[in-house]
Amino acid sequence: MDSSMGTLRQVIDFCLTLPEVYEDYPFGEGTALMRHTTTRRGFALIMLVRGEPCVNLKCDPEKAAFLRGLYTGVIPGYHMNKRHWNTIRLGSDVGDEELKDMILHSYDVTKKKN
């Protein structure tokens, strides 16, 4: 994806480029949950937090702590398990490529293991 990842829609659109993914709204309009089609497991919760566009992503606990120390725009998961989820504030010091890597990591750690 060539465009910036600064809006909720752009994050949703990037997630939809991944295999076997769909967009769901179990919490109502305005909060998208990106899920694996095979397991229905969510890997990205895309929403506004206090008016700020954010995405919650699952993460290996050691990596989650490392990313929080590296970026001011990465904080413990909003309304999620703080050890396993990070909230990334869009438009912060997290660049597009870093955000894509975090999304891919969340996609991988929530994917069904064979």
Q: Which pLDDT tens digit goes with each residue over 40-93?
A: 999 999 999 999 999 999 999 999 999 999 999 999 998 888 999 999 999 999
Rounded CA gap, 62 and 40, in Å? 25
47: phi then psi, degrees, rounded to nearest 5: -160, 175
Answer whether residue 15 is part of any domain: yes
**pLDDT reported for residue 36:** 97
- Confidence band (pLDDT; 50, 70, 90) for 25? very high
CATH number of the domain at 18, please: 3.90.1150.30
Answer whether residue 13 is part of any domain: yes
Answer whether residue 3 is part of any domain: no
Rounded CA gap, 112 and 32, in Å? 21
Answer whether residue 58 is part of any domain: yes
**pLDDT reported for residue 112:** 78
Three-state DSSP at 38 gives coil
**pLDDT reported for residue 79:** 86
pTM: predicted TM-score of the whole model, two decimal places:
0.93
Number of domains in the chain: 1
Answer whether residue 70 is part of any domain: yes
Closest C-alpha among 60, 61, 48 to residue 91: 48
User: Which residues constitute the domain of residue 67?
Assistant: 8-110
Answer whether residue 1 is part of any domain: no
Question: Is the pLDDT assigned to residue 2 strictly greater than 70?
Answer: no
Question: Is the pLDDT assigned to residue 14 strictly greater than 70?
Answer: yes
